[in-house]
């Protein structure tokens, strides 16, 4: 029996099935029946295996999607780690700058202390000079006292000589 070309495969199956049922005089043999049952069972098993394969493929797709999500999260975490490391580098650079400023301030303090030491040494020298000037003044005063004493003695001697005369 020949079917037209524009008939779908489902319709062909239905027509063939209908033709088999209407075919009178054909008796299925028990061997064919067993083969048909085995084929139907095998077909059902294949369908179940295919359904299981589809399910496994869907699970694999879900696992791959989860792996993609985990990789995206790992990329984000790595980007955050890079940012943290960049911030740490900036903080370390700032600490280096602060340490350099502290070193400069300490050098300035050392210079100020050296200047203060020089000023104190100059003050000591001035005080020593003042002491020397005071000692010279005392010596001059002592000489003046001695000269005055000499003058008094000369005056007294002269007065005594005048008194004798």
pLDDT tens digits for range 7-53 = 556 655 655 555 555 544 444 566 667 778 888 899 999 999 999 99
pLDDT tens-digit series, residues 55-76: 999 999 999 999 999 999 999 9
* Predicted TM-score (pTM) above 0.85: no
Task: Give the chain's end-to-end CA distance (angstroms, integer).
Answer: 197
What pLDDT score was predicted for residue 100?
98
What pLDDT score was predicted for residue 35?
76
- Please give the backbone phi and psi of residue 122, each rounded to the nearest 5 degrees, phi first: -65, -40
pLDDT tens-digit series, residues 102-154: 999 999 999 999 999 999 999 999 999 999 999 999 999 999 999 999 999 99
d(CA 159, CA 153): 10
Nearest to 143 by CA among 129, 135, 127, 156: 135
- Which residues make Cβ contacts (< 8 Å) with residue 36, sequence separation at least 6? 28
pLDDT tens-digit series, residues 84-114: 999 999 999 999 999 999 999 999 999 999 9
Sign of CA dihedral 96, 100, 106, 109: negative
How many other CB atoms are there within 10 angstroms of residue 99's CB atom? 10
């Amino acid at each position: 029996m020949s079917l037209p070309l524009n008939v779908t495969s489902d319709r062909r199956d239905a027509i063939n099935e209908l033709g088999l049922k209407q075919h009178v005089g054909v008796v299925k043999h028990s061997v064919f029946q067993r083969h048909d049952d085995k084929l139907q069972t095998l077909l059902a098993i294949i369908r179940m295996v295919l359904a299981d394969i589809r399910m496994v493929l869907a699970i694999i797709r879900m696992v791959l999607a989860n792996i993609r999500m985990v990789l995206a999260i790992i990329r984000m975490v790595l980007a955050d780690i890079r940012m943290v490391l960049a911030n740490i580098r900036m903080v370390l650079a700032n600490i280096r700058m602060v340490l350099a400023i502290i070193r400069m301030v300490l050098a300035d303090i050392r210079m100020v202390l050296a200047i203060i030491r020089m000023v104190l040494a100059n003050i000591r020298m001035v005080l020593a000079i003042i002491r020397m000037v005071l000692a010279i003044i005392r010596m001059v005063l002592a000489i003046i006292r001695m000269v005055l004493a000499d003058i008094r003695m000369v005056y007294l001697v002269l007065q005594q000589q005048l008194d004798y005369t």
